[in-house]
Amino acid sequence: MLLEGKVAVVTGGTRGIGFEIVRKYLANGAKVVLFGSRQETVDKALEKLSAENPAWEFDGMCPKLTDAAEVEKAVLAVKEKFGRIDILVNNAGISQSTPLYNYTAEEFDKCIDLNVKALFYTILPAAKIMKEQGGGCILNTSSMVSISGQPAGVGYPTSKFAVNGMTISLARELAKDNIRVNAVAPGVTRTDMVAALPADVVARISAQIPLGRPGEPEEVANAFLYLASDMASYVTGEILSVDGASRA
């Protein structure tokens, strides 16, 4: 039980990597509040968790992450219910692959709003709570494209480079308050989107990954578990790649 007695908030926690993070944290003794984009998906995720283990303690909410006031209200509600917030995982986000000449300002802004601004909106109230209670852990989902870029959809790697910058800078700023800040940079992962691809497409993708296959959501969640646990008590300001040595 690596997270016994801890309280965690996981955004984008209703499916894929986020849902595996929620499951991994619950299985290791944490109480978890997952944030999703819609009440319908939140309810579905909570039902799956209840069916897996009725003894787990969890809840779900669907604040609009690009609304600072709404996010702050949700974070404070978690503190009100569980008494503290030890771990914040900023996993919600969107990807883009639009070529530059077809990009619109609105599409670019949408990516920056959810992938960058929403992190700040969630971190600000959570960090204040963590400081008051004597410490905590903030984890952000980056991407392998934050290191290597990608051939189209410049808004996405731009946003993930920003996530890395925010992570490293806040790690330095918040260290005095015993708040660790790290990020995980996944590579190609077998989420629903990848699992739905034809076998030949998956084979071509796998051929470009030195380990020869996409990662599994649980393997990425393991990195989030490590960084949230006391095993990483002296780790902060790191961008941990979990990508099978692949590069975009």
Written as one letter, the residue type at 230 is: D
Q: Is 156 a catalytic residue?
A: yes
Show the tokens assigned to 179: 């708040």
| Exposure on the CB side of residue 214, measured as CA atoms within 13 A | 19
DSSP 22-77: HHHHHHTT-EEEEE-SSHHHHHHHHHHHHHH-TT--EEEE---TT-HHHHHHHHHH
H or E element, residue 10: strand 7-11
Which residues have a Cβ under 8 Å from the Cβ of 55 and sit 6 or more positions away? none
Show the tokens assigned to 101: 């000449």
Phi then psi dihedrals of residue 32, to 5 deg: -130, 135
Catalytic residue among 103, 156, 226, 234: 156
Question: What is the C-alpha separation between 67 and 136, in angstroms, rounded?
Answer: 23
| Burial of 33 (C-beta count, 10 Å sphere; 0-12/13-18/19+) | buried
Report how far apart, in Å, the C-alpha atoms of 56 and of each of 3, 47, 59, 137, 214 are.
13, 12, 10, 21, 30
Which of the residues are catalytic? 156
